[in-house]
A = this chain, B = another copy of it.
């Protein structure tokens, strides 16, 4: 079962070319999430800007304003964006004609003057499909609304599948999810483990046996929908932060492995080799540590990955507090240089709450404070993610929303 024509959003004029987590570098990333716009130029770091690009940007700005501030009038948007009412009207007309925005009727409250016509993003005109391939035993997926709320779920047991077999599982999951959709689909977002490049090629995912797998291309060809693929932790952080908001954020995702997502200067960090956030195999401390699968001693993953922690806790005579405290401390030791170098103000922990939200968390905070300069990092906050298990699915929705509409 594949998507029917009726399911395709009016927004996507093409089968959607490569593009992924970050707003590719259309002119040093000005029109970050330009919509429609096929962002196919990753070549020159900087390029010319035409008036039409400005319009794309302003269009996205209007959409973003509506999306985050909720239903409001054209005049409200004009005030908030700094554009004139005339220009906003023009942009809104375009958005309405594309089905992305709808009029809701007149505002109720009693004020002098002509009553405002409320408009809003057509929040229930599209759905998004999100996939989380980061779990070890199961591929999870969901159909979400534009705001990320989950409408339908589906799972497929992985049963150790790798390589092409695993790809077919992913395809089957997508097919099943498409069957669960009830309205047009804006796009598909995928959080995959491993190293994923900006074109959505999984360069390397050892657990799944994938090497240079063009997952974006495969799914786009199969469904004829816009597809965005990125590393699972880099996707997860979008659920916490959005893709366009300002600020700095680090998310550490503890599961079968340990990975991180980073946002610096308001934008996701990809890394020179597309492997940003891969801190699982950084060695912690100078006093050895457990042997890691990678061959080194004392890798972060050997200290804090979920299987390792659970195994330790189940050992005879294990002291839960001590074990979790030590693991949290090890995480703090690795994060301290990163927090210091980037002067981060917010760090988020994502993973099994029964392990992380307690002694572990406290030890991490404590260690971070003790190992960085107090005055500089006074504002530092370390918190648990509130998104629980769905963080990747919701992040995938944000990724699609951002990639297709320039909104998050």
Contact = CB atoms under 8 A, between A and B. Distances in A.
Interface size class of A (residues with CB under 8 A): 35 or more
Contact of A265 (B265, B283, B345, B371): B265
Q: Helix, strand, loop or mixed for chain A's interface?
A: loop
A370 interface: yes
Nearest to A375: B204
A201 interface: no
Q: Which of A50, A250, A267, A342 has its CB near the most chain B CB atoms (within 10 A)? A: A342
A83 interface: yes
A271 B343 contact: yes
A51 B246 CA distance: 24
Interface stretch (A118-126, A333-341, A356-364): A333-341
A379 B272 CA distance: 9
Nearest to A52: B54
A282 B48 contact: no
Nearest to A88: B48
A260 interface: yes
A275 B376 contact: yes
Q: Which of A278, A283, A340, A346 has its CB near the most chain B CB atoms (within 10 A)? A: A340
A340 B279 contact: yes
A181 interface: no
A99 interface: no
A266 interface: yes
A371 to B, nearest CB: 4
Interface stretch (A23-31, A147-155, A220-228): A23-31
B267 A248 contact: no
14 contacts: A29-B29, A46-B64, A47-B81, A51-B54, A271-B342, A271-B343, A275-B377, A276-B341, A278-B373, A279-B341, A280-B373, A281-B340, A287-B287, A337-B338
Q: Which 5 A-B pairs have the closest CB atoms?
A: A30-B30, A271-B343, A272-B345, A285-B286, A45-B246
Interface of A: 22, 25, 27-32, 45-51, 53-54, 57-58, 61, 64, 81-83, 195, 204, 244-248, 250, 260, 262, 264-267, 269-287, 294, 296, 333-338, 340-346, 370-373, 375-379
Given A51-B51, A286-B287, 13 more contacts: A28-B32, A30-B30, A45-B244, A47-B81, A50-B54, A54-B54, A247-B272, A250-B341, A265-B265, A271-B342, A274-B343, A282-B337, A286-B286
